[in-house]
Amino acid sequence: MAGTILIIGNSHVFAMQAAIKDRRYPERYRAMRWDNKHADGKERFPDAEIGDAVEALTSDDMLAIIPFGNRHHLFGLFEATPPISVGAAIDGHDMIPTNVMRAVLAPSDTEQARVKAMIQRAKCKVVMISAPPVKADNEYIASHTDSKLGTSVRDLPLAKPELRRQLRELENAWLRDYCADLGIDFVDAPLKAFTADGFLIPKFYSADATHANHRYGWYMLDRLRKWPR
């Protein structure tokens, strides 16, 4: 594989940043985290450093972005009151139609515009990366503090893992259609990262509620390296 793979995205990029340090050819990869919030409280995307990095890419390179894919945790990590179900009526639950939840999981128009602006600046192959599979082990989640949430999740009731998985699949379905409209590829998590029933394999758990670790990052880097240009 010729060229460099530049990976830019949300907090899920950390798994790949950690993996890059362990790669045999780390110079082929670069991972950058963007932060939409600046000192003045305004949102800008991409910032100057990221914009320069994207514009420096050539036709031999690849831009891999992971800007979305977290919204399933907004509704699938903690249990709502009353609990929700999607697309099927369950006693004691508020049922949300599938098409309504799909729309809720979609990024805002502003977020979509930021991503489109980045893609337009790239002179190379662009792909969008999925967030990792969700964790099934609620006991593990409850025993770890998620620094992004700022609280110990053990103090809050957790939703059923099946709801998290369903919401991730629904969000990814929206993202696939979004990528098709933009003319870019959507890259889901490596098959080796999934359990037989569609959850993240525990050896890939990071020590928080939602993220994968550097071992998962290894597989994701390999998947990007082998992705058709």
Other residues' Cβ atoms within 10 Å of the Cβ of residue 115: 21
The fold of the 5-226 domain, in CATH, is: Rossmann fold (3.40.50)
Q: What are the residues whose beta carbons fall under 8 Å from the beta carbon of 53, sequence distance 6 or more?
A: 6, 8, 30, 32
What does the pLDDT profile of the chain (229 residues) look like in tens digits? 568 999 998 889 999 999 998 766 656 899 998 765 544 545 455 577 888 899 999 999 999 999 888 899 989 999 998 999 999 989 889 999 999 999 999 998 888 888 898 899 999 999 999 999 999 999 998 887 554 555 555 677 899 999 999 999 999 999 999 999 999 999 999 999 999 999 999 999 999 889 999 999 999 999 999 998 8
pTM across the whole model = 0.88
Instruction: Look at residue 201 in the predicted model and tell me its pLDDT.
Output: 98
Nearest to 134 by CA among 169, 102, 106: 169
Q: What ranges do the domains of the chain cover? A: 5-226
